[in-house]
Structure 1
Amino acid sequence: MSGLPVDPHLYLTFLGVMAVMAVTPGPANLFSVANGVQRGPAGALAGVIGMNAATVVWFGAAALGLGALVVAFPEAFRLISIGGALYVAWLGINALRGAFRTAADPDAPTIRLGRSALLDGFMVQIANPKAVLFFTAVLPPFMDVTRPAAPQLALFALATIGMDVITMSAYGLGGAALARRMSEPRFRRGFAVVTGALLLAASVLIISRL
């Protein structure tokens, strides 16, 4: 047992906690729904890639001592989170503006959240306070100080990203399944409003966790 990179009991407990966190609606999953509705399956999956690229960055930061940095410079991480919340809110406002433009012009194309689903996804997750909470409060208790940190972080990253990919994709593709109805002007207008509301709700969740 001592030769394993992680403590098996701690790892199984971590998997259970991570599963609950992954399926809980939060900024990332709300973004996935909105992104799937607006961009379809390909855009939904690009957003998932972007969000999990940010998760990789968070794990890299954890390997460099993120917890110590957050304790030393808490205001810096608070500003990052506020910036992320404002970015998500801006996406929501753009979606709502697009709904009104669509109402005036029924033949207008479907609105877009931003220039890149990949970038939008990355920005949402890199500023997600759930990520800070995860790496500073949830992950540390599962680390075994008697074992090398790098292999443990690699296995925790594999589990985290694997579960996130599954749940984010499910949320996003569920939204994408509705996209085929976007050719109907009334339906399109209604979902533009829903998209904006979802993104604004995500920004509120981010702010509320600061």
Structure 2
Amino acid sequence: MTINCALLLAYVASIVLLIVTPGPVVMLVVGTTARRGVRQGVLTAMGANAASLVLIAVATLMVFGVVLISERLLAWLQVLGCIFVAVLASRALYGEWRANGVSSDKGMHVATSQPQRFPALLQGFFVGIANPKDILFFVAFFPQFIGVTSDSRASLAMLATLWMVVDFTLLGCYISAFRHPLVHRLQRRISTLSSGLLLVIAIAGLAGAGLGGSI
């Protein structure tokens, strides 16, 4: 079995750029780590990783012609994903606002005052499964790399494994950064910033879907 090294390197470069670019999943992982600790951040990353497996499975079915994804369905998935992300971000910002009020009154930061208690694993999964960036990649871009080997099934296994490894490694790097004392001291600001950016991403996604007139 021969491997097209140039195509493989192009795939790795593509997924590195896709994952490392801040988006809903990265902002969610960073915000969760800042608010709830490294363990919850890892669980969030695992949920997003599991969502990627589902998207890879859908892309595989599309390659073999088992399923077809309509543009209207993609548009609705984008809208639902943006709404879910917006709700998560809004609740996180509200939690930070409440915690800031408590710390101002009592001189202490109460992280547990946040109302959000949705399991981190499920948060990561639902944001990952409805992430427009990942959906477009797996539906429109992923099938182009099937020719990395002469065996399509071996190619799919290789591409899926590489995605999982790179995805979890890069998200792990974001999480590991919070072990630095300086970053730890700024955790509230980072949490608020990441939640704010997450909300902006969601609003931009909804605006894009509306302007596109695809639903």
Classify the TM-score, shorter chain: 0.7 to 0.9
Asked whether the 8 Å contact 1:39–1:112 carries over to 2, the reply is: no
Shift of 1:15: 1.5
Amino acid of the structure 1 residue aligned with 2:197:
L
Are the aligned partners of 1:37 and 1:176 in contact in 2 as well (CA < 8 Å)? no
Letter matched to residue 54 of structure 1: A
Query: Alpha carbons of 1:206 and 1:147: their partners in 2 closer, same or farther (altered >3 Å)?
Result: farther
The answer (yes or no) to whether the contact 2:46–2:124 under 8 Å persists in 1 is yes
1:35 matched to which residue of 2?
32
1:135 is the counterpart of 2:132: no
| Aligned position for 1:53 | 50
Distance in 1 between residues matched to 2:203 and 2:178, nearest whole Å: 21
How far apart, in 1, do the equivalents of 2:117 and 2:84 lie?
A: 11
Two-structure CA RMSD over aligned residues (Å): 2.7
Q: How many residues align?
A: 200
Q: Is the 8 A contact 1:36 1:43 kept in 2?
A: yes
**Is 1:169 the counterpart of 2:172 in the alignment?**
yes
Q: Distance in 2 between matches of 1:33 and 1:44?
A: 7
> What is the match of residue 83 of structure 2?
86
Give the aligned residue type for 2:7.
L
Aligned counterparts of 2:54 and 2:137: Cα–Cα separation in 1: 13
Tell me what 2:98 maps to. 101
More off after superposition, 45-54 vs 97-106: 97-106
Change over 3 Å in CA distance of 1:105–1:78 after alignment to 2 = same
**1-structure distance, mates of 2:54, 2:84:** 19
Higher mean C-alpha displacement, 39-48 vs 143-152: 143-152
In structure 2, the gaps of 5 or more residues are: 210-215
Match of 2:212 in 1: none
Report the Cα distance in structure 2 between the residues aligned to 1:140 and 1:205, rounded to whole angstroms.
27
Secondary structure, in 3 states, of the residue corresponding to 1:139? helix
Deviation, structure 1 residue 147: 3.1
State the TM-score, normalized to the length of structure 2. 0.80
Percent identity between matched residues is 29
| 1:51 maps to amino acid | A
- 1:115 deviates by 1.8
Residue 201 of structure 1, CA deviation: 2.9
Secondary structure of the residue aligned to 2:92 is: helix
| Counterpart in the other structure of 1:201 | 200
Q: Which segment drifts farther, 48-57 or 34-43?
A: 34-43
Aligned-partner residue type, residue 97 of structure 2: F
Q: TM-score, normalised by structure 1?
A: 0.82
Between the aligned partners of 2:31 and 2:172, the Cα distance in structure 1 is 12
Contact 2:27 2:195 in 1 (8 A): no
Distance change >3 Å, CA 42–CA 49, structure 1 → 2? same
Q: Structure 2 CA distance, aligned partners of 1:45 and 1:121?
A: 10
Q: Which residue of 2 aligns with 1:123?
A: 126
Is residue 31–residue 192 contact of structure 2 (8 Å, CA) maintained in 1?
Answer: no
* Gap change, CA 1:11 and 1:37, over 3 Å in 2: same
